[in-house]
Structure 1
């Protein structure tokens, strides 16, 4: 497995689990605080920070301790690069959300974690059950939104109800740009929580054999990579061949996110995505499977289709082309 550093950000201690007795029986658990939808704004999170679990997710945990960097444009101070983190946030290293294991005698990276593996990561990050979660990407690049969507997918697969998980649209970048504070305290290890996988929903993900069956059944197979990779003029370094899975249609990553006036990268709203997909002539009324190279671009597409647009028959091929090639299956290009 990749070398990662998992820890919690100071300012949050271990949450106390209190049993309130009434007539010799435990009182009902408190109601989980409602989220307004799959996306929240910086203003909403600022007003509700004490009632949700804020989970900072990034692929460079060292940046948690850096100061934000600013530039000057037309005489105005603008945020150039984020630094620090939202006060009292928990911390998850994106690379801890993937595993390395041997399959058929080959060592494969980027594997979807087992329930036990995922539970360990969440416990190390001090997540608690039965409290709403707001995932905070950096917002500096569109890839950070896909990383946040990947965690949202794993949380939903491993039992967290969809309506208990949201993403801060624009991430830490939007938070800082809105004038809210960040802290750059040193990140220190803390004791684990008792978060557990209470159920699994593996129907949200598929494996290679299911993709092959979907091909034969005429189901919609969506390639969520950049268009140049879909048509086969470029490829990711982790992929051996140029091209796409036969029968796939393009849902290009560059059409799915936008950069706001404050410089943060954001998801669009459902009506905008409907227009985008119509322009791409994608029939989302069909059951669909999204894929990419290793599952990250696809997670962003899954979040858009399933969470933002409310389409229920959407699954992710978590192994994507990386696994497809491992099975010796062909790709097609120009």
Structure 2
């Protein structure tokens, strides 16, 4: 009887693991995730930016990664180190064969950042919850305020892959050569130089405008009203209209790199294009000395 029980348990866990693997593509639906909340092969991680969101209620069993401290270097402007991120993932119960599902607030911007950073370090089976917190809450799916009891995992990351990350030198070179497409995913007003940063955002620059040669496809054009990504064919048509068809490498940027991570995900993971995310984005480029800027609106920084 004990053997039979163990066999049934093993079979059950194998079925659960198969269910996790059966979710094809880079996105998971809210329906699939709710059905797999008790699946030991699935690890859910929230990456939100607004304080207290996770504590007020999160997807049951989810771990919490704080973007401001966990996914970045808190001393210098950089992404989290491999060692730091690997330790966090293990604390969150992530194993080498786990399926990692990321989600968060503000339309999954920072969850997409998390997906990009994990990609830089070679993490496998990383997916976004399509629609993020917005859709999960709109559908009245379960939330918990209890801390999950997590067993430490054994995941191992790789060294950072520079092919997924653009530097300011890469952006300048792409602007000059035209051999790499540059996609500015900010609002039309930011792109034109009418505003340097959206109202209420503190991180800014001393120059307005955009990288010469960059095309503007605002991140919001890639999503539906409920927060989910548009279907792949619609995304392909959207970017093709701006001349972005995957025929040459792409660099995405925004203001601090989080919105551009969202577009990086659409282009790289959903459409399969070759894409680097420029996480320095406009707060680096617009503050840099000696780089060219296109500023159609002619806005001049006043120090206020």
What corresponds to 1:247 in structure 2? 213
Instruction: Please say if residues 97 and 121 of structure 1, whose CA atoms lie closer than 8 Å, have aligned partners that are also in contact.
Output: no
What corresponds to 2:268 in structure 1? 306
Shift of 1:177: 3.4
What corresponds to 2:247 in structure 1? 285
Which of 168, 190, 203 is the matching residue for 1:208? 168
Instruction: Please say if residues 82 and 159 of structure 2, whose CA atoms lie closer than 8 Å, have aligned partners that are also in contact.
Output: no
Unaligned runs of 5+ in 2: 1-16, 297-304
1:176-325, aligned counterparts within 5 Å? 176-185=137-146, 187=147, 193-218=153-178, 219-236=180-197, 237-240=202-205, 241-260=207-226, 265-311=227-273, 313-325=274-286
Instruction: Please say if residues 33 and 131 of structure 1, whose CA atoms lie closer than 8 Å, have aligned partners that are also in contact.
Output: no
Shift of 1:43: 0.8
Query: Which structure has more RCO (C-alpha within 8 Å, separation ≥ 6)?
Result: 1
Tell me the TM-score normalised to structure 1 length: 0.73
Counterpart-to-counterpart distance in 1, 2:29 and 2:150: 29
Instruction: Supply the RMSD in Å over aligned alpha carbons.
Output: 2.6
Aligned residues: 270
Which of 26, 44, 48 is the matching residue for 1:38? 26
Unaligned runs of 5+ in 1: 1-29, 67-83, 103-108
Counterpart-to-counterpart distance in 1, 2:94 and 2:51: 17
Tell me the TM-score normalised to structure 2 length: 0.79
Three-state SS of the structure 2 residue aligned to 1:267 is coil
Q: Deviations over 1:225-268 (max 9, x none)?
A: 111101110122422221111221112123122222xxxx2211
Shift of 1:55: 1.1
Three-state SS of the structure 1 residue aligned to 2:47 is strand
Specify which structure has the higher proportion of strand: 1
1:68-79, aligned counterparts within 5 Å? none
Shift of 1:134: 0.9
Runs of 4+ in 1 over 4 A off after TM superposition: 187-194
Q: Deviations over 1:125-163 (max 9, x none)?
A: 44333211111223xx43xx22111111111111113xx
Distance 1:320 1:231, change over 3 A: same
Shift of 1:307: 0.4
What corresponds to 1:156 in structure 2? 119
Instruction: Please say if residues 256 and 281 of structure 2, whose CA atoms lie closer than 8 Å, have aligned partners that are also in contact.
Output: yes
Which of 99, 105, 113 is the matching residue for 2:73? 99
What corresponds to 1:63 in structure 2? 53
